[in-house]
Structure 1
Amino acid sequence: MSPTLLGIAYMCLGVLFLALGDAVAKWLGESYAPVQIVFFRTLVAVPLIVLIARFNGGIRTLGTRRPFVHLLRGLIATATMFSFILGLTLLPLAEVTAIAFAAPLFIALLSVPLLGERVERLPLIASFVGFAGVLIVVRPGAAGFQVGALVVVIAAICYALLMITARRYGSREQLWAMVFYVTLVPLIVSALLLPLFWKPPQAVHWVGFVGAGVLGVGAMSFITLAFRHAPASIAAPFDYTAMVWAVLLGWLIWGEMPDTWVYVGSAVIIASGLIIAFHERRVAIKARPSS
């Protein structure tokens, strides 16, 4: 198998793990507060990240000279996790996934004021069209509108901020340090809040708490491998396979069937994201030095 095809396979597998983790979080959210779910998810994930770092450069890769940057990113990650899991408890899985697809669009829009980057006309137009797709899914003012949709939009914006800070500081920090602290800070915050929301888990739910953490780390590892084997512009669009898994899992577990507007909005969002990805690929190819 060629490196590119292997990268695509890793990306699809990582996205599957993400979808399964979201389904587990939604299932747990029927009985437990998001704080408790985040706590156990990160409690399992942190030791696994340390173990992975140990065999990928050593524990020294977790060191940093920018603790306040990691604290800020960790707090943003905390807000992302809390709002996303809360959204999962309020909306069908496919609808949450569709709205979360807006994150790359927010990255393109926010990179202008926050990073001072110049966004060309095509990706800028695609971002606004994609945001229109979000409005189609959310339908503010419609009878089907729910506050949960706004919660997921907030999660998408927070995730975009997390990626923008990674773009700004990622080249100056170790990869596993970036991953470690955005997991450690939510663990600490959720641990401090846990006494207010604690509910003794049932035996069957322990499997879910542990599984959510393992699936999260597995997804992160496979997606990282995907970008090591295939160009980002080729691997990234396969993130949209999450919609297939979300619809399938939502139907199998909860009997959820998205309405027509969710499919229409999802198509608009995905098309906009693909336009941005292909545009970035074209720019990257042009920027390569000729041999």
Structure 2
Amino acid sequence: MSSSLVGIAYMCLGVLCLALGDALAKWLGGSYAPVQIIFFRTLVALPLVATIAYFNGGLRTLATRRPGVHLIRGLIATGTMFCFVIGLTLLPLAETTAIAFAAPLFVTLLSGPLLSERVERLPFIASLAGFVGVLIVVRPGAAGFQLGALVVVGAAVCYALLMITARRYGGKERLWAMVFYVTLVPLIVSALLLPLYWRPPQSVHWLGFVGAGILGVVAMACITLAFRHAPASLAAPFDYTAMVWAVLLGWWFWGEMPDLWVYVGTGVIIGSGILIAVHERRVAIKARPTT
């Protein structure tokens, strides 16, 4: 099997793990507060991240000279998690996933003012088209519109900020240090809030809490391996296979059936994201030095 196919396979597996973790969070959200879900998810994930770091250069890879940067990124990650988990409890799984696809579009628009990067016309137009897709999904003013849609848009904005800060400091900080602290800070924040929302878990729910944490780490590892084996422009579009899993899991466990407009809006969002990825790939190729 070629390296690119291996990368695609890792990407698809990682996306599947994310979708399963989201489904578990939605299931747990029917009985527990988002604070408790995030606490256990990060509590399970943090030692796994530290273990992976240990076998990939040792615990010294977690050292940093920029604690303030990691604190800010951790708080952004906390906002992402809270908004997304709340959205999962308020919206169907497929609709939540579709709106979350807007995150790369926010990256394109925010990279100009925050990173001083020039946003070319094609990505800019594609981003605007993608937001039209988001509006098609959430349909403001329609009877089906819910506050949960705005909460998930907030999660997409926070995640975009997380990706922008990763782009800004990714070359200056070790990978596993960045992953470790965006897991540690949400754990601390949720632990401080947990006494206000604590509810003793039932036996079967313990499996959900542990499973969600493990799936999150496995997803992260698979997606990291995907980008090591395949070009980003080739692997990244397979992130959209999450919609397939979201539709299937939502239908299977909750009897959720997205209407036509959710599919139409999702198609517009995915098309915009792929167009931006292809454009960035072409720009990267042109920027390579000739031999």
* AA partner of residue 290 (structure 2): S
Deviation sequence 1:140-171 (CA, Å, 0-9, x none)? 11111000000000000000000000000110
Residue of structure 2 equivalent to 1:172: 172
* AA partner of residue 26 (structure 2): K
Deviation sequence 1:160-206 (CA, Å, 0-9, x none)? 00000000011000000000000000000000000000000000000
Residue of structure 2 equivalent to 1:102: 102
Residue of structure 2 equivalent to 1:260: 260
Mapped to 2, the partners of 1:152 and 1:119 lie a distance apart of: 25
Mapped to 2, the partners of 1:117 and 1:142 lie a distance apart of: 37
Mapped to 1, the partners of 2:85 and 2:178 lie a distance apart of: 22
CA drift of 1:289 comes to 1.7
Mapped to 1, the partners of 2:177 and 2:278 lie a distance apart of: 30
Mapped to 1, the partners of 2:169 and 2:286 lie a distance apart of: 25
Regions of 4+ moved over 6 Å: none
Residue of structure 1 equivalent to 2:191: 191
Mapped to 1, the partners of 2:172 and 2:85 lie a distance apart of: 31
Mapped to 2, the partners of 1:57 and 1:237 lie a distance apart of: 30
Mapped to 2, the partners of 1:280 and 1:181 lie a distance apart of: 29
TM-score in terms of structure 1 length: 1.00
Mapped to 2, the partners of 1:272 and 1:70 lie a distance apart of: 31
* AA partner of residue 78 (structure 1): T
The answer to whether structure 1 residue 237 and structure 2 residue 251 are counterparts is no
Mapped to 2, the partners of 1:277 and 1:237 lie a distance apart of: 8
Deviation sequence 1:241-288 (CA, Å, 0-9, x none)? 000000000000100000111000000000000000000111111111
Residue of structure 1 equivalent to 2:225: 225
Output aligned runs, 1:1-291, within 5 Å. 1-291=1-291
RMSD, aligned CA: 0.4
Mapped to 2, the partners of 1:130 and 1:83 lie a distance apart of: 20
SS in 2 for 1:31: coil
TM-score in terms of structure 2 length: 1.00
Mapped to 2, the partners of 1:159 and 1:128 lie a distance apart of: 18
Aligned pair count reads 291
CA drift of 1:29 comes to 0.2
SS in 2 for 1:172: coil
Deviation sequence 1:123-149 (CA, Å, 0-9, x none)? 000000000100100111111100000
CA drift of 1:230 comes to 0.5
Deviation sequence 1:201-256 (CA, Å, 0-9, x none)? 00000000000000000000000000011111110000000000000000001000
SS in 2 for 1:171: coil
Mapped to 2, the partners of 1:261 and 1:75 lie a distance apart of: 34
Mapped to 2, the partners of 1:179 and 1:50 lie a distance apart of: 9
Deviation sequence 1:21-72 (CA, Å, 0-9, x none)? 0000000000000000000000000000000000001000000000000000
| Unpaired segments ≥5 residues, structure 2 | none
Mapped to 1, the partners of 2:219 and 2:29 lie a distance apart of: 20
* AA partner of residue 273 (structure 1): G
CA drift of 1:290 comes to 1.9
* AA partner of residue 210 (structure 1): V
| Unpaired segments ≥5 residues, structure 1 | none
